[in-house]
Amino acid sequence: AAAEKDGYDWFMLKEIAEQPHAIADTLLGRLSDHGAIVLDEVRISDQEVRDIDKVFVVSCGTSYHAGLIAKYAIEHWTRIPVEVELASEFRYRDPVLDRSTLVVVISQSGETMDTLMAMRHAKEQRARVLAICNTNGSTIPRESDAVLYTRAGPEVAVASTKGFLSQVVACYLVGLFLAQVRGIKYADEVAAIVDELRALPAAVEKVLSEMEPVRELARSLADSPTILFLGRHVGYPVALEGALKLKELAYIHAEGFAAGELKHGPIALIGEGTPVVVVAPSPRGRESVHGKVVSNIQEVRARGARTIVIAEEGDDDVLPYADHVIRVPRTPTLLAPVVTTIPMQVLACEIADTRGLDVDQPRNLAKSVTVE
């Protein structure tokens, strides 16, 4: 088993390190030289794509967080309304589905029972089902109308890392593909985004090469009774994912919040020294959002929080209120989760390791949950 880990202490560390390759493989052959998205394997006709009037993204756990990110991207690029839902809730809610609904199901394993049952429900209602999956020939892609494989390679650690980043990238491809087929007039923006997608593996590589200070910080957080995570816009799902990773691996109480909701409750949790991890959006993207997050950092700091801020290179506005800054490369707003998630993974992994826990096989969890 040690050999399979390629010298890493944990499969999770190996899989975190494989992320540049994983997302390069997700993109392989799917971006043309002319800035187009090529998804020949997605067997949904152009007419069907044009008829779509609503998208549901349905998944569980970490894959649900990929879905939350997908919503921002797909709505922005296609102007089609997108709803994201936990698979375990979706089918009991009697969702409104018909043949012009596209249901995107996201599952690393392709075997999660809740997701499978949600998908079957969608098919019974005659919706089109597109699976984003990492496991060739598993049940979910076999039963779906179309499948986009993420090609991240086998994921062994229970907590998903490379599976997640490749799902996020696959969701971008789906969003851009829908926009392209529907002839949305974002030609310039889409071509620019395609170049930015190509740059992601190198950006991820860069983040990974700068994680030593994050590991050091993690060791200092290993005894925290609670850690809070804040984000806005696509930083919000990243905050949720950071909290989930910490719960899964380190058994530390953690919660992710939309930073704007702080004042409606969560701020009461903050006391002297409470660690708060904040995902700061790019100052170049949505300026107002950036300014609001900077105020949020200031607010929690004023109440005693120890602030850990994940911020883009060159974003100096966060410096006066950050106890620790974790830098990520400049990335367009919608693509930022691909880089901002990585410090979350490293933090959780290192905290769990410091606490002497089994990083790859956390208690009570399974890699694939095949019961409802």
Residues that bind ligand G6P (CB under 6 A): 60-63, 107-109, 112, 115, 158-160, 365, 367-369
Q: Least distance to ligand G6P from the beta carbon of 17, Å?
A: 18
List b or e across 303-322, with b for residues whose CB sees 16 or more CB atoms inside 10 angstroms.
Answer: eebbbbbbbbeebebbeebb
54 vs 367, which CB is nearer to ligand G6P?
Answer: 367
Query: Both tokens of residue 2?
Result: 């040690």
Instruction: Between 27 and 60, name the residue whose CB sits nearer to ligand G6P.
Output: 60
Annotated catalytic residue: which of 54, 206, 292, 367?
367
Neighbours of 220 (CB within 10 A): 13
DSSP character string of 286-318: -HHHHHHHHHHHHHHHHTT-EEEEEEETT--TT
Least distance to ligand G6P, CB of residue 257, Å: 20
Sheet with 54-59, side-by-side order of all strands: 82-86, 54-59, 101-107, 128-133, 146-149
CB of 71 to ligand G6P, least distance (A): 17
Using CB positions, name the residue nearest to ligand G6P: 61
Q: Helices 187-209 and 19-27 sit at what angle, rounded to 10 degrees?
A: 160
Count of all residues that appear for the chain in the document: 372
367 catalytic, yes or no? yes
Find the shortest distance in angstroms from Cβ 56 to ligand G6P: 16
The DSSP output letter for 4 is T
**CA angle, 118 as apex, 96 and 230 as ends, to 5°?**
90
* Shorter beta-carbon distance to ligand G6P: residue 114 or 353: 114
What is the spatial distance between Cα 339 and Cα 357, in angstroms, rounded to a whole number? 26
Query: In the complex with ligand G6P, which residue's Cβ is closer, 78 or 139?
Result: 139
Nearer Cβ to ligand G6P (249/311):
249
- Token output for 41: 């394997």
Which residues, in sequence order, are CB contacts of 288 under 8 Å at separation 6+? none
C-beta of 143: minimal distance to ligand G6P in Å? 14
- Residues with catalytic roles: 367
